[in-house]
Structure 1
């Protein structure tokens, strides 16, 4: 039985993943820090604070696995610094907290095109985040790089709604992927045995369940 830390549970992928973790008999407890309270559910320990760092810093409960599904857009965040805080700083803080609590496997939602040298702000921040996690020296690090995510959000993102029809017909790693498929891939990887220290799951590999 594993105890896990899940950040980003109120997001699209994180919401699906939380449901999967609750239903999975291999999971004994799920520590879920959020900015707003979640409904009471079996296995879930919901810790609430306005800033995620305020919850992560005092945590002392040991965990085995860390799932990080944090992510926003520049428009939603309101500024470049606010975007960096969510998509870089809080992701790195989640990982460091998991390491401190004894976790051996970190699984993170990144993005297709993540590259620290990218001329595009969004992709560059995602790439810098990945590089920071690599340098933490995890025994196992899984980076999941979906393209545009499909699913029912609590808060719609205008740009994603506009471009979703196009991304549904693009080839390979550019094709939009269901958020539920991303969550299922993360859970599967968490319990897959491998000698690889770093596993990168590209967007095309996340679309396999859609072709069944």
Structure 2
């Protein structure tokens, strides 16, 4: 896994993952496509455009692995249309770009409760996104479904602040998880020499993988 593409590198999970990729000896080059420019970093090429899809269309060099950490909330998005753009359209565009450039595996952050048949809009869009990626028939697709993410954000999300104490004591897959643990688990899975098809990991599984040396 010498060359990787990552979208969502300015987010909570993506920021941790980008730093881990930079420090990982098995990674030779990182293409971090973003909406706004990143600071200069070792091993990182940063095509950027306010329309992320336009930045993705600039890419021509081969890629081995795709990481997608895009995600927002209805409040941050401001409308259902903007939410679908961020959590479905741009995720699928990332995947299409990876396939165009020859990638053989993709790892994506989804959410607990993702279900295309859900009566809840957020969960339904996440489920539709997962189904779209599965339909692309990746040789290897890893879907991370974390519960509430913990970690420092530039702007706090009110609902997360209110419900964080509850999610910290919930059992199993419902228990909140540190964003860095999600990132660490994704990198660990990407570096595994074996495993084909679709692999879906909930918070409890992500936590266990993150404990691996």
Q: TM-score, normalised by structure 1?
A: 0.96
Structure 1 position 186, deviation (Å): 0.4
Q: Which moved more, 1:191-200 or 1:107-116?
A: 191-200
2:87 aligned residue = 87
2:112 aligned residue = 112
2:198 aligned residue = 198
Within 5 A, what are the aligned runs for 1:92-107? 92-107=92-107
1:185 equivalent in alignment to 2:159:
no
Alpha-carbon deviations, 1:115-156, whole Å to 9, x = none?
Answer: 000111111000000000000010000000000000001222
Alpha-carbon deviations, 1:54-97, whole Å to 9, x = none?
Answer: 11113101100000000000100000010000000000000000
2:122 aligned residue = 122
Cα distance in 2 for residues equivalent to 1:142 and 1:195: 10
1:168 aligned residue = 168
Cα distance in 2 for residues equivalent to 1:10 and 1:194: 29
2:67 aligned residue = 67
Structure 2: gaps of 5 or more residues: none
Q: TM-score, normalised by structure 2?
A: 0.96
Q: Which moved more, 1:50-59 or 1:201-210?
A: 201-210
Aligned length: 212
**Is 2:35–2:49's contact at 8 Å kept on the other side of the alignment?**
yes
Structure 1 position 158, deviation (Å): 1.2
Cα distance in 2 for residues equivalent to 1:101 and 1:125: 26
Cα distance in 1 for residues equivalent to 2:51 and 2:158: 25
Root mean square deviation, CA, Å? 1.5
2:152 aligned residue = 152
**Is 2:74–2:80's contact at 8 Å kept on the other side of the alignment?**
yes
Task: Give 4+ residue runs of structure 1 displaced > 3 Å after superposition.
Answer: none
Cα distance in 2 for residues equivalent to 1:47 and 1:157: 28
SS at match of 1:147: coil
